[in-house]
Amino acid sequence: MVKITGVRAILTQPGPARLVVVKVSTSEPDLFGLGCATFTQRPFAVEAAISHHLAPLLVGRDVDRIEEIWQISMNHAYWRNGPVLNNAVSGVDQALWDIKGKQAGMPVYQLLGGRTREAATLYAHADGRDPHEVAGNALALREQGYRHVRVQMGLYGGPTDNLRLPPSAPPGNYFDPRGYSRPMLEMIDHLRNTLGGEVELLHDVHERLHPIDAVQFAKDLEQYRMFFLEDPFAPEDIGWFPTLRQQCATPLAMGELFNNPHEWRPLITGRLIDFVRMHVSQIGGITPARGVASFAAMFGIRTAWHGPDDTSPVGHAANLHLNMWAPNFGIQEWPQPSEIEYEMFPGLPRAADGYLYPNDRPGLGIDIDESLAARFPCDERVEEWTQTRLPDGSPARP
């Protein structure tokens, strides 16, 4: 019987995002697994959860028992369904799926049920300071073969050049919810006129609007036939979804901030969204994501797993295996990883013509160059972009 002999967090920051990868070593020489545990705002907390709590709990256990280990790991702290511990559990879970695939000599998607598609359709990000710059960046992505583009103007929260703050306003990342919708509608109108109907448009509200303004914004977007509108509400405001759903046919995506099944369950059973967008490591890994995908499929809801640059390349590999299997796969967010990430994570697939193809190696099909990773230690910065404030200086959700 193959046993777990070590559970170790590898922290690295090859780009802006701080990444956490878990390496599970086993009693079989050269048999190890990798999993994503990336919570980029709290990497050191995840590392502590792994080294102080999960490693002592799991060393000596049977690598075969993925489900049992997931259940024990999720419940061992008694209090559960939180972002730090869920990410720690995900790192182990994904690594155990990686190991099982290596033992079976199969890609993980084969263990989930085999291919239902040849590749995963991707969307990439276009941004800019004005509609013309956004359009130029979107056209460049179309030239690379992307047929789905997320269009933002000033990343999240909209333009900030006309904000009028009190003289005593403290430092922060300011935005004005009431100044968001009109410029965004103008930008999306320009994009639709520039790109025509051949490129699907996506947009991320990022929980920055007051709920009733999000309802109006989604209705105003109906004419543009969006592929989806993301995070119209904060997780704390999911009670607004029925109001929006009854008035509007703009497809909705929600979930990257979810940790707890109570958050996504009503949106799925009520058919209140069209895409589940969880950050797979934030809900505990492949094991729960497989369950959520199957549950969502019963309600006609598709997957669109969270996948920006603060998903590690190992996490992108896990997303890809879920995407190759899931009958209700919708779309995959793709951050266009850097060359240093391709060097650090051998096996990370490359996008081709708007698609991502698995490499069909056993397990997750990805490795990590630990010596290179060690050359990019995580910084100890105090996150600034999440210190969001409204024009009057009051704190706001990021």
Q: 99 vs 276, which CB is nearer to Mg ion?
A: 276
Q: Which does 93 bind (CB under 5 to 8 A by kind): Mg ion, ligand GCO, none?
A: none
Using CB under 6 A, pick the residue from 93, 98, 200, 256 that binds ligand GCO.
256
- CA–CA separation, 41 and 55 (whole Å): 22
Q: Which of 228, 167, 226 is nearest to 197 (CA)?
A: 226
The yes-or-no answer on residue 156 being catalytic is yes
Which position among 206, 279, 306, 316 bears the catalytic label? 206
CB of 244 to ligand GCO, least distance (A): 19
- Using CB under 6 A as the binding rule, whether residue 274 contacts ligand GCO is answered as no
First to last CA, the chain: 47
Q: Map residues 354-393 to x or -, x wherever contact with ligand GCO holds by CB under 6 A.
A: ----------------------------------------
- What is the C-alpha separation between 375 and 128, in angstroms, rounded? 32
# binding residues, ligand GCO (CB under 6 A): 9
User: Has 206 been annotated as catalytic?
Assistant: yes
Q: How far is the CB of 124 from ligand GCO (least distance, A)?
A: 11
> Is 310 a residue that touches Mg ion (CB under 5 A)?
no
Q: Please tell me the distance from the alpha carbon of residue 229 to that of residue 181, in angstroms, as a whole number.
A: 13
Contacted entry of Mg ion, ligand GCO, none for residue 100, CB cut-off 5 to 8 Å set by kind: none
Residue 277: partners with Cβ closer than 8 Å, 6 or more residues away: 230, 231, 253, 254, 255, 256, 304, 305, 306
Q: Which residue is nearest to ligand GCO (CB)?
A: 308
Structure tokens at 230: 């993301």
Amino acid, res. 211? P
Q: Which of residues 140-169 bind Mg ion (CB under 5 A)?
A: none
Q: Shortest gap between Cβ of 204 and ligand GCO (angstroms)? A: 5
- Residues from 131 through 160 that contact ligand GCO (CB under 6 A): none
Stretch that binds ligand GCO, among 96-104, 169-177, 305-313, 321-329 (CB under 6 A): 305-313
Q: Which is nearer to ligand GCO, 17 or 50 (CB)?
A: 17
Rounded CA-CA distance 394/174 in Å is 9
One of 109, 123, 146, 156 is an active-site residue; which one? 156
Q: Judged by CB under 6 A, which of 310, 323, 345, 391 binds ligand GCO? A: 310
Q: From CA 245, how far away is CA 251, in angstroms rounded?
A: 9
Please count the residues of the chain: 398
Locate tokens 């103008």: which residue? 186
Per DSSP, the residues of 1-66 read: --BEEEEEEEEE-SSSS-EEEEEEEESSTT-EEEEE---TT-HHHHHHIIIIIIHHHHTTSBTT-H
Residues 231-290 close enough to bind Mg ion by CB under 5 A: 256
Kindly state the greatest CA–CA separation across the chain: 67
**Cα–Cα distance between 148 and 142 in angstroms, integer?**
8
Per-residue interface string for the shown chain with ligand GCO, residues 177-216, x marking contact by CB under 6 A = ---------------------------x-x----------
Q: Which of 200, 274, 333, 367 binds ligand GCO (CB under 6 A)?
A: 333
Residue 204 sits in the site that holds Mg ion (CB under 5 A): yes
Part of the chain binding ligand GCO (CB under 6 A), chosen from 71-79, 127-135, 283-291, 304-312: 304-312
Stretch that binds ligand GCO, among 61-69, 139-147, 211-219, 306-314 (CB under 6 A): 306-314
Beta strands 148-151 and 200-204 are parallel
Determine phi and psi for 337, rounding to 5 degrees. Answer: -55, 155
CB of 59 vs Mg ion, minimal distance in Å = 36
Percent helix, strand, coil in the chain (nearest 5)?
Answer: 40, 15, 45
Residues annotated catalytic, as ranges: 156, 206
List of residues contacting Mg ion (CB under 5 A): 204, 256
